[in-house]
Structure 1
Amino acid sequence: MPSSAPQAAATVDGDVYVTPRYLAGSPGYGDAGFAPVKHWPHHHLDEGPHQLVVTSPDHRIRIGWAGDDYDLWTISAAPDAVSGPQWTAIVNQNTPPELVAALTTALARDWADGQDRFLAAPSAYWADSLAPLVAAGWQRTGAEVGTVELTAPGGNAGVYINRSRRDLPDGTELWAGPPGWGTRAEITFSPRTPSHLIAATAEAFTDTTPVAR
């Protein structure tokens, strides 16, 4: 049952159920993240950083899984099968795959509707990407010029956008958990990522349904 505490867990039939789900960590496999695109072509690779790459049928959307790397997922979209990515999302090893599933669900829907929405130009307004978080009560924090920061109630998750600081990496980063290589979940979107895809991923951070671990 969901709790207002930062993290609640109860043992039921041998499983631990965690809420908020952004603190659940990774179970070590990506099934939930791949489920929305299970009908897409799968490419099992013997060499390179990714053990598995799932692509849209036209190969414009690519979802790479590196099972033994810190950057566990690399998700991107390109105008055609042989072009470099127009945008990229990097997801680290501590991130619950249920959050990744929100992004892959949106990508599968975009590809199926045939309108190339997964290549849309992002909105000039940061609030279009983070509307679900604002609606869920995440508060604006930070005061650095050229950046936007929001923090979840309880302070266990947040989002950081670099809009114009040249001394910092560009893009949008959703995070959860305490700082540290083995504890903090991070999803980082490059600057040209469509706003609705970031919003779909952000909405998963507001889902109070517990996840099993």
Structure 2
Amino acid sequence: MTDPDLDIDGDVYVFPRYLAGTTGIGDPALAPLMQLGWELTHDDLGNAYLNATDHKVRLGFLPEGDDDGLWRINAYADRFGPPAWGVSFNDSCPTEFVTAFTTALAQAYQDGPEHYLARPGPTDTELDAFNAVVPLINRGWKIQHPRWGVLELQTPDGMAGLEYATGRLDAERELTTLEARWYMWGGPKNGYARWYATASTNTPTALVKAITQSVSDPAPLPRWKDFLSRGLREHAQLVPIAPPPPVPTPLDVHRTASRRRPALTTRSVPRWSTTTTPSAILPARPSRPRR
């Protein structure tokens, strides 16, 4: 589940993880890109912005944005041109899904533009996109009844899904609405606990796959029970996190040592022997009386 040597930020494990909700903390998702030396700035409202060193990838963490799109990440082939691709996560999305994406993005950025600007296969984009769907199929997600222009998969419990739109899409609407090439969601249909993530047409398949792998990962996520919305608590499985055993004090060690049983001492133990020794001479049998 997690590293036992690290402090667990929560009192329950939530399963399945797509019902865990957000942690409310953005730092873990920012960290992979911060470690590359990207420039961090803030505005007067408290929104945070990260810019790659070449200004060709930009991330916005927007708790005070105009809508519920908390995370917006865009990449540019030309720093002064329109985005080559865009990805967004709303404010209810589990932070671990965003972290999985930014971790993959950090690696792709280090590998170069041919990786973080890699377009899906030009000959068969649907076949290339299938690579991002494979983790879901392998973990039990089911293909739904076909809809024209949409490939849809859902979890067996119907609490999370993915939609992949085929055909031609409006590039601007992909970046500003939910009408994107990739649309992922999870949580109850009603209420604020429902999360979503979108990715536009030219988002590298490897980056989308990082999200689908994290969303479908069977490992639960730690959360504080009181922080979970009622809708999530009603549908998710919650398992209490057992506190680690207390570290013994020097006095505990001394008391334990004083109660230890004494070590066994060597002592002789009589054994049967097949040899005859003077100490083992048996008395003679009494003779029978003669008749």
Short-chain TM bin: 0.7 to 0.9
1:98 to 93, 96, 99: 96
Alpha-carbon deviation of 1:157?
0.8
Alpha carbons of structure 1 residues 193 and 61: separation in structure 2 relative to 1, 3 Å: same
CA shift digits 1:148-200 (9 cap, x unpaired):
00011222111011113879924111111112451111001111111111111
Alpha-carbon deviation of 1:119?
0.7
Alignment-mate amino acid for residue 38 of structure 2? P
Alpha-carbon deviation of 1:44?
2.4
Alpha carbons of structure 1 residues 38 and 181: separation in structure 2 relative to 1, 3 Å: farther
Residue equivalent to 1:208: 218
Alignment-mate amino acid for residue 83 of structure 2? P
SS at match of 2:151: strand
Would you say the 8 A contact 1:173–1:186 is kept in 2?
A: yes
Using the alignment, how far apart are the partners of 1:13 and 1:73 within structure 2? 22
Instruction: For structure 1, list consecutive stretches of 5 or more residues without a partner in the other structure.
Output: 3-11
Residue equivalent to 2:24: 28
Q: Which has a greater percent of helix? A: 2
Alpha-carbon deviation of 1:35?
2.2
Bigger Rg, which one = 2
2:60 to 48, 64, 75: 64
Residue equivalent to 2:40: 43
- Answering whether residue 152 of structure 2 is matched by residue 152 of structure 1, we say no
Q: TM-score, structure 2 length as denominator?
A: 0.64
Runs of 4+ in 1 over 6 A off after TM superposition: 165-168
1:81 to 79, 82, 90: 79
SS at match of 2:197: strand
CA shift digits 1:24-81 (9 cap, x unpaired):
1112221221122122324323258x71111222121111100134110001111133
Using the alignment, how far apart are the partners of 1:72 and 1:45 within structure 2? 14
Residue equivalent to 2:119: 121
Alpha-carbon deviation of 1:13?
9.1
Using the alignment, how far apart are the partners of 2:119 and 2:149 within structure 1? 20
Alignment-mate amino acid for residue 188 of structure 1? T
Using the alignment, how far apart are the partners of 1:22 and 1:38 within structure 2? 26
Residue equivalent to 1:196: 206
SS at match of 2:207: helix
Residue equivalent to 1:8: none
Using the alignment, how far apart are the partners of 2:99 and 2:56 within structure 1? 18
Percent identity between matched residues is 35
Alpha-carbon deviation of 1:115?
4.7
Using the alignment, how far apart are the partners of 1:91 and 1:45 within structure 2? 19
Q: Which has a greater percent of strand? A: 1
Alpha carbons of structure 1 residues 38 and 145: separation in structure 2 relative to 1, 3 Å: same
SS at match of 1:22: helix
Alignment of 1:128-207 (within 5 A): 128-164=131-167, 169-180=179-190, 182-207=192-217
Using the alignment, how far apart are the partners of 2:169 and 2:60 within structure 1? 29
Q: CA RMSD in A?
A: 2.5
Relative to structure 2, which stretch is displaced further, 95-104 or 51-60?
51-60
Would you say the 8 A contact 1:42–1:52 is kept in 2?
A: no
Would you say the 8 A contact 1:130–1:198 is kept in 2?
A: no
Using the alignment, how far apart are the partners of 2:19 and 2:10 within structure 1? 19
Using the alignment, how far apart are the partners of 1:165 and 1:109 within structure 2? 30
Would you say the 8 A contact 1:59–1:80 is kept in 2?
A: no
User: How many positions carry a matched residue from both structures?
Assistant: 203
Using the alignment, how far apart are the partners of 2:9 and 2:197 within structure 1? 31
Instruction: For structure 2, list consecutive stretches of 5 or more residues without a partner in the other structure.
Output: 3-7, 171-177, 224-291
Would you say the 8 A contact 2:49–2:58 is kept in 1?
A: yes
